[in-house]
Amino acid sequence: MGSDLRVGEAPPTEVETADGPDRRFRNEEETPRMSHPNLVLLVKFHSKLSLDEISEVVNSRADEFRALSGLNQKYYLQDAATGEICGLYLWDSPEALNAYRESELRASIAAAYQATAEPRIEVFNVLKTLRDGDGS
């Protein structure tokens, strides 16, 4: 986990473009709702396990992830081009993400999935969501 990640920094209220600020990315609500995450965490790694074995690991750890406070959703993915296994996490707050980053659950990813190297971690601020929580 690189120290260059600026978790906790507020998402921008405007995005600068060549023509000036782009106000389409403004956050309209001061307090985010559960359906609108503030942060996205992407974890990627190559695994020595087969997809069936990975599925077993996912299922055995799912309740631990469901119990995490502030985790809105987690997607289990495979990169179609590289075969890497990926976790895409949607977080309510920097505090929730940081608590996870310091947890044993996060630290155990490489061993649980028999990763060939330390997982690559990327954190993104959510600028805007396409749909509201009601699907519109």
Residue-by-residue pLDDT tens, the chain, 136 positions: 333 334 444 444 444 445 554 444 444 443 334 458 999 999 999 999 999 999 999 999 999 999 999 999 999 999 999 999 999 999 999 999 999 999 999 999 999 999 999 999 999 999 998 877 655 5
Take residue 120 and report the two structure tokens written for it. Answer: 């690559």
pTM of the model: 0.72
CATH 3.40.50.2030 fits 36-125, yes or no: no
> Considering just the CA atoms, what is the radius of gyration of the chain in Å?
16
- Going from N- to C-terminal start, the domains of the chain cover 36-125
Can you tell me which residue has the tokens 């000036």? 20
